[in-house]
Amino acid sequence: MKPVRIVIIAKAPQPGLAKTRLIPALGAQGAADLARHMLIHTLDKALSANIGTVELCVTPAPSDPVWQTLSIPDAVHWSDQGDGDLGERMARVAQRVTNCGESVVLIGTDCPELSVEHLRQAGSELQRVDVSFFPTVDGGYALLALKHFHPSLFTDIAWSTDSVAFETLCRLEQLGWTVQSHAKVHDIDEPADLTWLPNP
């Protein structure tokens, strides 16, 4: 049974860097404040799931002073996303984790609907299938859990479009990997998505 590592792909919650598509509705500072809230919420869920190591894979690098403004639990491991598009950055971390003999659960910070139960479900499913997959209503995905790495899952995909989930599932089918796919969840990218924020 492979150990599981949850890797959270995150941008620093800085005005003008995080959740920029929400700026028309919330302003730059408001969008950054929401990004900070969602990052802390995601970290809390990942740690509470208690299925394995939790890693925060960030941009800018962990050494950037912006990260000192957040109180991140000591149990969290840190890594640098590095350069490239989203696919290149996710591919690097997925390859590193799986090469070390762990399964990887890749998530972002944009989906407050993603619960402790979802994370535990994904970790558990990796004991019997190659992939656990949680698509989003807008055509992307909120969670991709993998036992193995293959570059085709991250290469030449039109990120931030409504074809991401479909294209990823097609490539998983081409690989012949077993996949457990789930009902769509809502992430928070555009002003219209704000209705899906949980009540405080």
The confidence band for 28, taking pLDDT boundaries of 50, 70 and 90, is very high
Can you give the pLDDT at residue 198?
86
128 lies in some domain: yes
Which CATH number is 89's domain given?
A: 3.90.550.10
111 lies in some domain: yes
Can you give the pLDDT at residue 199?
76
197 lies in some domain: no
200 lies in some domain: no
Indicate whether 195 pLDDT > 90: yes
34 lies in some domain: yes
The count of domains in the chain is 1
How far is residue 5's CA from residue 11's CA, in Å, rounded to a whole number?
19
Q: Is residue 62 within 8 Å of 79, Cβ to Cβ? A: yes
Q: What pTM did the predictor assign?
A: 0.97
How far is residue 142's CA from residue 187's CA, in Å, rounded to a whole number?
7
Average pLDDT over residues 142-149: 98
Average pLDDT over residues 59-87: 96
Sequence-ordered list of residues with C-beta below 8 angstroms from that of 71, at least 6 positions apart, any chain = none
The confidence band for 45, taking pLDDT boundaries of 50, 70 and 90, is very high
199 lies in some domain: no
Domain of 177 in residue numbering reads as: 4-192
How far is residue 84's CA from residue 56's CA, in Å, rounded to a whole number?
18
Sequence-ordered list of residues with C-beta below 8 angstroms from that of 182, at least 6 positions apart, any chain = 118, 121, 132, 133, 134, 135
Indicate whether 200 pLDDT > 70: no
Indicate whether 81 pLDDT > 70: yes
